[in-house]
Amino acid sequence: LGLNSGLSPEEIEASPFNLVVVVDVSGSMNDAGKLDFVRTGLVLMIDSLDANDKLTIVAYDTVATVRLGPTYVTDDAKGEILDIILDLKTGGSTNIYDGLYKGYEMASKGITDSEAMHRVLFLSDGLASAGNTNTDDILAMSAQYNELGIGITTLGVGTDFAFDLMYGLANQGNGNFYFLDDGDKMVDVFQHELEYLLTPVAEN
């Protein structure tokens, strides 16, 4: 399906973000500098957000923790946000269910804002190895939040992640799926994804 428009993307009034970034910080993220380029991508992503956008950061290994509660990306808040990103450290197993569930729960806190674009940006470099590891259960839980209007974009890092799960999450959640095998792509993806979400071509 091809669509054309006389509108320039710069003329489209963008909806504010209610964006939750869910980052895998399990031990394997220390391999090949994967967490380093994730940090770099997140730092650059901050420059693409503004004071109308709300950001939450959830990190997960064996358990999931909220590192940054819902925060508007004002100039005053950017210093705190950057400190949290740079302080991410690796360790533990990969509890995909807990990380994704916590991310969705945080996104759902802002679901009453009908003007905002509600999105989970979910990253993993491995297979589920802690908590509920059943793929069907993870997909079913995610689908419940998708029906509420919370979309998801998934990023598989390296070569050992759960491809079917990550693709399935994005496919049923009306989102994009990215496969990343090096750090340079991570930076490009964060920037491309925000531009993609902020440039609607058609509605209804």
Distance CA(55)–CA(20), nearest Å, equals 6
Give the pLDDT confidence score for residue 55 in this predicted structure: 93
Give the pLDDT confidence score for residue 104 in this predicted structure: 96
Q: Inform me whether the pLDDT recorded for 199 exceeds 70.
A: no
How far, in whole angstroms, is CA 135 from its chain's centroid?
A: 19
Give the pLDDT confidence score for residue 61 in this predicted structure: 94
The CA-atom distances, in angstroms, between 166 and each of 1, 122, 161, 163, 196 are 25, 9, 8, 5, 19
Residue 149 Rama label (left phi>0; alpha psi -120 to 50; beta): left
**For the chain, what percent of residues have pLDDT higher than 90?**
45
Distance CA(44)–CA(52), nearest Å, equals 17
pLDDT per residue as tens digits for the range 124-152: 887 889 989 999 999 999 999 999 989 99
Distance CA(35)–CA(65), nearest Å, equals 17
Q: Inform me whether the pLDDT recorded for 204 exceeds 60.
A: no
pLDDT per residue as tens digits for the range 58-116: 999 999 999 999 999 999 999 999 999 999 999 899 999 999 999 999 999 988 877 88
**Helices (H) then strands (E): counts for the chain:** 6, 6
CA dihedral 123, 67, 198, 76 (to 10 degrees): -150
Provide the whole-model pTM. 0.87
Give the pLDDT confidence score for residue 33 in this predicted structure: 78
